[in-house]
A and B are shown apart, each in its own frame.
Chain A
Amino acid sequence: MVDLLLESLVHVYREGNVRAVDGVDLIIGAGERVAIIGQNGSGKSTLVRHLNGLLRPTSGRVLHDGVDAAMSTVAQLARSVGLVFQDPDRQIFAGSVRAEVEYGPRNLGIRGEELRSAVDAALEAVGLESEAKTNPYDLGASRRKLLALASVLAMRTPVLILDEPTTGQDERGVQRVRSVIQEAHTQGRTVIVISHDMRFVAEGFERVVVMRSGHIILDGQPEMVFRQDAWDQLASTFLEPPLSAVIGDRLGLGSTPTDGMLIRALVSRG
Chain B
Amino acid sequence: MLTLDEVSYRYAGATRTSLRGVSLTLRDGEVLGVVGRSEAGKSTLCLVASGLAPRTLGGTLSGRVLIDGADVVARAMHEMASDVAIGFQNPGTQLSGVATTVYEEVAFGPMNLGIARGEVLRRTESSIDALAIRALVDRDPDRLSGGQQQLVAIAGLLALAPRHLILDEPTAQLDPAGTRLVSDAIRRLAARGASILIVEQKVDLLAGVCDRVLALDEGRLTLEGPSETVLADPALHALGVAEPSPVRLRRLASEAGVSARAIELALGRVATEAPGG
Asked if A39 meets B38 with Cβ closer than 8 Å, knowing A87-B146, A196-B173, A266-B258, the reply is no
Which parts of B246-277 form the interface with A (CB within 8 Å)? Answer: 246, 248-249, 252-253, 256-258, 262-263, 265-267, 269-270, 273-277
User: Are A196 and B253 closer than 8 Å at their CB atoms?
Assistant: no
**B-binding segment of A28-36, A105-113, A244-252:** A244-252
User: Which residues 173-227 of B sit at the A interface, judged by CB distance below 8 A?
Assistant: 173-179, 201
Question: Is B89 located at the chain interface by the 8 A CB criterion?
Answer: yes
Determine whether A86 belongs to the interface, using a CB cutoff of 8 Å to chain B: yes
Chain A residues with CB under 8 Å of B266's CB are 246-247, 250-251
B262 touches A41 (CB 8 A): no
Given contact pairs A196-B175, A238-B177, A243-B249, A171 touches B240 in the complex (Cβ within 8 A)? yes
A241 to B245, CA, bound (A): 12
Whether the Cβ atoms of B178 and A238 lie closer than 8 Å is: yes
A267 touches B256 (CB 8 A): yes
Say whether B12 faces chain A, with CB atoms less than 8 Å apart: no
| Most central of B36, B138, B146, B151 by chain A CB within 10 Å | B146
Tell me whether B258 and A41 are in contact (CB under 8 A). Answer: no
Say whether B228 faces chain A, with CB atoms less than 8 Å apart.
no
Q: Is the CB of B240 within 8 A of A172?
A: yes
Question: CA A120 – CA B57 in complex, angstroms?
Answer: 34
Contact of B38 among A140, A235, A245 (CB under 8 A): A140
Asked whether A171 lies within 8 Å of B241 as measured between CB atoms, the reply is: yes
B140 within 8 A of A: yes
Instruction: Decide yes or no whether B17 CB sits under 8 A from chain A.
Output: no
> In this complex, what residue of A is CB-closest to B256?
A263
Bound-state CA distance A240–B242 (Å) is: 19
Is A114 an interface residue, CB under 8 A from the partner?
no
Tell whether, in the assembled complex, residue A251 and residue B249 are in contact, meaning their CB atoms are under 8 Å apart: no
B43 touches A141 (CB 8 A): yes
Q: Given A15-B140, A86-B173, are A247 and B249 neighbors across the interface (CB < 8 Å)? A: yes
User: Nearest-CB distance from A237 to chain B (Å)?
Assistant: 8
Contacts of A174 in B (CB 8 A): 242
Residue B104 CB within 8 A of the other chain? no
Binds B, one of A50-58, A64-72, A147-155, A161-169: A161-169
Query: What A residues does B78 contact at CB under 8 A?
Result: none
CA–CA, A168 to B143, complex, Å? 22
Q: Taking the nearest CB of chain A, how far is it from the CB of B6, in angstroms?
A: 24
In the assembled complex, the CB of B72 is this many whole angstroms from the nearest CB of chain A, namely 24
A188 at the interface (CB under 8 A from B): no
Q: Is the CB of A198 within 8 A of B277?
A: yes
Smallest CB-CB separation from A43: which chain B residue? Answer: B145
Query: Which of B139, B174, B262 has a CB less than 8 Å from the CB of A196?
Result: B174
Residue of A nearest to B274 (CB): A240
Q: Would you call B39 an interface residue if the criterion is a C-beta within 8 Å of the partner chain's C-beta atoms?
A: yes
CB distance B176 to A196 under 8 Å? yes
**A134 close to B (CB within 8 Å):** no
> Which of A13, A38, A140, A262 lies in contact with B249, CB distance below 8 A?
A262
A263 pairs with B258, CB closer than 8 A: yes
A16, B92: Cα distance in complex, Å: 19
Whether A40 and B38, one on each chain, are in contact in the complex, defined by CB atoms closer than 8 angstroms, is no
| Interface flags, B7-37, vs A, CB<8A=1, else 0 | 0000000000000000000000000000011
Q: Quick check: is B1 within 8 A (CB to CB) of the other chain?
A: no
**Can you list 29 contacts pairing A with B, beta carbon distance less than 8 Å?**
A16-B139, A18-B143, A38-B175, A40-B147, A40-B150, A41-B145, A87-B92, A142-B38, A142-B39, A143-B39, A164-B173, A170-B37, A170-B38, A170-B241, A171-B242, A172-B37, A172-B240, A196-B174, A196-B179, A200-B277, A239-B175, A239-B176, A241-B276, A243-B276, A244-B249, A246-B276, A251-B265, A263-B256, A267-B258
Q: Which 9 A-B pairs have the closest CB atoms?
A: A40-B147, A238-B177, A142-B38, A247-B266, A167-B172, A140-B39, A243-B245, A240-B176, A266-B258
